[in-house]
Amino acid sequence: MTHPLTPAQEETLVAAIKAAELRTSGEIRLHLEDKCPTPEPLDRAAQVFAELKMHHTKLRNGVLFYLAWQTRQFAVVGDSGINASVPDDFWEDVKETVVGHFRQEQYVPGLERGIRLVGEQLRQLFPYNAATDVNELDDTISYGDDSPSPTPSR
């Protein structure tokens, strides 16, 4: 897989994930791959969600942003804990916000905005508790071919 992000862009997106998770017990991941191997990106996002074991969070409050960048397919999917609480149109609104930026070729700002929106919703539904909260999922970006990211993980 070729990497669509520069190291600086990757750092920006990981920082957005960390910032969004600061005031919530919710977990956010971003997964990139060249092409979506399934007809529907939402189906692929659900597969990746399971592969990354995102359903193993205590409150079932993980969210995955999925982007097949060469084929320009995008989906965002949340676990059952958050799905039970968000408004029906929440995921579609987040998707449209991100895709709106993509249409203007503002890929990193689009993903940042989507991550911020999800973080705000997670903060309301799953507030951070200093006594019990731990970072349950890796904040780094995952890639479809399991190749290492272009920047070293911290």
- Look at the block and give the residue holding tokens 């968000």: 86
The two three-digit tokens of residue 23, written as one number: 């005031």
Question: Domain residue spans in the chain?
Answer: 7-143
Phi, psi of 67 (to 5 degrees): -140, 120
Inter-residue contact 63 to 82 (CB < 8 Å): yes
Cβ count within 10 A of residue 60: 17
Q: pLDDT band for position 136 (50/70/90)?
A: confident
Return the DSSP state at 137.
S
* CATH for 7-143, options being 1.10.1040.10, 2.102.10.10, 3.10.310.50, 3.40.190.10: 3.10.310.50
The two three-digit tokens of residue 65, written as one number: 């942003």
Q: Is the pLDDT of residue 130 over 80?
A: no
- The residue-averaged pLDDT of 104-124 equals 96
- Of 3-12, 108-117, 138-147, least confident by mean pLDDT is 138-147
Cβ count within 10 A of residue 22: 9
Phi, psi of 57 (to 5 degrees): -70, 150
